Amino acid sequence: MARLGIDAYLGDTVAIARSLVGACLVRRLPGETLVCRITETEAYVGAVDKACHAYGYRKTARNAVMFGPPGRAYIYLIYGMHCCLNFVTNPVGEPDAVLLRGLAPVCGADTMARLRFGRSWGELTPYQRKNLLNGPGKCCQALGLDRSMNRTDLTGDQLFLCASPADLGLPEEPPVPFTVRAAKRVGIDYAEEARDFLWRFIREDTPC
């Protein structure tokens, strides 16, 4: 089963955040594998980014995983209730990460719907379908991710990325042309000049 290796998490973190839009995120649960397309990401660069938890190389118990090896999951809690998944990038000592902000279901939509709303995909309202995976906390809830998965190796078997469903032995989807739009990141008004960085990347499907 092909998956992205460590090299995918090394380099310019902003470029990595853009490149991961359109890739697949895979979450293995007992008896089921959930697969989603990544539709939205944000880059965070510790050395220069005042919105980053590790700005100026400030290391804490919470963000310590960012200083470790690349290709690990950094999962933290916000507002005391929502988990957020990040992909740690760059070599040991460089605290960078890519925040997962949005997904689209490929395989396992019923399970994702039950984890989010307590009902199957077919029972969801149009509003619930639209809002199933359009936020970092929603993505973690729908994939059954919490802080117990912090530091997970993204080249392992529980949680990993791959280029396409075909890499998982799933039927190849008809290609859908898309562009990636850069925008300001969300919820960082405190971050002075960093609030204006165009480090948020959003998939936008284009008409055939």
195 found inside a domain? yes
179 found inside a domain? yes
1 found inside a domain? no
The model carries a pTM of 0.95
Number of domains in the chain: 1
Per residue in 3-43, pLDDT (tens digit) is 999 999 999 999 999 999 999 999 999 999 999 999 999 99
108 found inside a domain? yes
Which residues are within 8 A (CB) of 200 and not within 5 positions of it... i.e. 6 or more apart? 40, 41, 42, 101, 182, 183, 184, 185, 186
Provide the residue range defining the domain that includes 180.
6-205
**DSSP helix/strand/coil, 187:** coil
Per-residue pLDDT at 196 exceeds 90: yes
Per residue in 56-104, pLDDT (tens digit) is 999 999 999 999 999 999 999 987 789 999 999 999 999 999 999 999 9
CATH value at residue 101? 3.10.300.10
Per residue in 104-115, pLDDT (tens digit) is 999 999 999 999
190 found inside a domain? yes
